[in-house]
Amino acid sequence: MRMVIWELSVVNEAFSVMEFFLQLLLNGVSTGFLYGISAIGLILIFRSGGLLNFAHGGMMAFGAFLFFTLSVQANWPIIVSFVVTLTSSFALGLILEKCFMRPVFLKENLIHKILITLGLALMLKGLLSFFFGEGVYHLPKLVSETLSISWHNLQMKSFHISAFAAGAVLLILYWFFFTFSSTGLSMRAFAENPLAARTVGVPAKRVSALSWAIAALLCALCGVLLSTVNGLHSDSLSAAGLKVFPVIILGGLNNIKSAIWGGIIVGLLETFSGGYIDPSLQDIAPYFALLLILVLKPSNFFVRTELEKG
């Protein structure tokens, strides 16, 4: 009898260990999927203007706080608030590019361009801190928790469903836009060979503006979804924006599909280091991996010589 009880306890313990592993896997993949989608915006800006956008986290925070203002403070319907947030973020990208980046678009001073994006990051964070303070806010769920799926202790919550659903829809729209629309084809041509694209009449400024607008929209989406599970705070979203850089180092700046894989790897590093080692390591694990990659393999793990075509 004691042997049977011991065997049952061993089986239950092994089952619990497996459930814990699968839960961490689900959390890491869903979070990393959002990191990868956010990285697509960074890649678009880099391919159109040749610079890394350090205001990425600020644009994520703008979208999340706007959604909070509309859905919680103004009590608008969640879907309407979400659509208006994405639309407004798209407009924000156009405004930032028009007012701040376009005056230096054709200049060769790369340091000047990078400092402008740093200034934009500080400006957005400062404005949000001024209007909303330093408190942590909570956003409503985009998907009701009644749709959550549970199996013993393994749970697929509304965040996981929202992340996978929104990410899948966006990737499908991205594929259609860059494969079939004339604007998307122009952006692809400019990304692959800017000089040749200008020669055949592709408007460089229009490509740059659309790249910033799409990037801001993607940032808003990821900022809203990440804030529904982690809480809304400008510092946390700024940190999430910085995690895009380990993502693009893993996936590469020439390959949009591999950005998704890079994001998933970063998400898994976060959840597994926090779950199995110590929660305090969760936020620094991606940067530790970044340093190792830059030292040991400075290119990246998914090297490709051309922009992925859909």
**Residue 163 token pair:** 């992340």
Q: How many residues does the chain have?
A: 310
Kindly tell me if the per-residue pLDDT of 103 is higher than 50.
Answer: yes
Which of 65-69, 95-99, 158-162 is least confident?
158-162
When pLDDT is averaged across residues 287-308 and rounded to a whole number, the result is 61
Q: What are the φ/ψ torsions at residue 104 (nearest 5 degrees)?
A: -115, 15
Structure confidence at residue 213 (pLDDT): 94
Answer yes or no: is 125 within a domain: yes
Instruction: Answer yes or no: is 181 within a domain.
Output: yes
Q: Is the pLDDT of residue 3 over 80?
A: no
Establish if 64 belongs to a structural domain: yes
| 156 membership: H or E segment, kind and range | strand 154-156
Rounded distance between C-alpha atoms, residue 220 and residue 72, angstroms: 17
pLDDT for the residue numbered 310: 44
User: Tokens 């004339």 — which residue?
Assistant: 182
DSSP-assigned letters across all residues of 206-235: HHHHHHHHHHHHHHHHHHHHHHHHH-B-HH
Average pLDDT over residues 2-7: 53
Which pLDDT value is given to residue 160? 84
Token duo for residue 249: 């180092």
Count Cα neighbours of 232 within 13 Å in the Cβ-side half-sphere.
28
Q: Is 293 contained in some domain?
A: no
Tally of domains in the chain: 1
**198, part of any domain:** yes
Residue 146 lies in a domain: no
Q: Is 118 exposed, middle or buried (0-12, 13-18, 19+ CB in 10 A)?
A: middle
Domain membership of residue 70 (yes or no) is yes
For residue 150, what is the enclosing H or E element? strand 149-151
Q: How far is C-alpha 219 from the chain's CA centre?
A: 6
Higher pLDDT, 201 or 224: 224
**Residue 267 located in a structural domain:** no
Greatest distance between any 2 Cα atoms in the chain:
83
Considering the entire predicted model, what is its pTM?
0.86
125 falls in which pLDDT band (50, 70, 90)?
Answer: confident
Task: Write out pLDDT tens, residues 254-294.
Answer: 667 778 888 888 899 999 998 888 888 888 888 887 787 77
Which range marks the domain in which residue 122 is found? 32-131+156-241
Amino acid occupying residue 241: G
Q: What is the pLDDT of residue 85?
A: 96
* For residues 81-109, average pLDDT: 86
Q: How large is the average pLDDT for residues 24-29?
A: 90
pLDDT exceeds cutoff 50 at 309: no
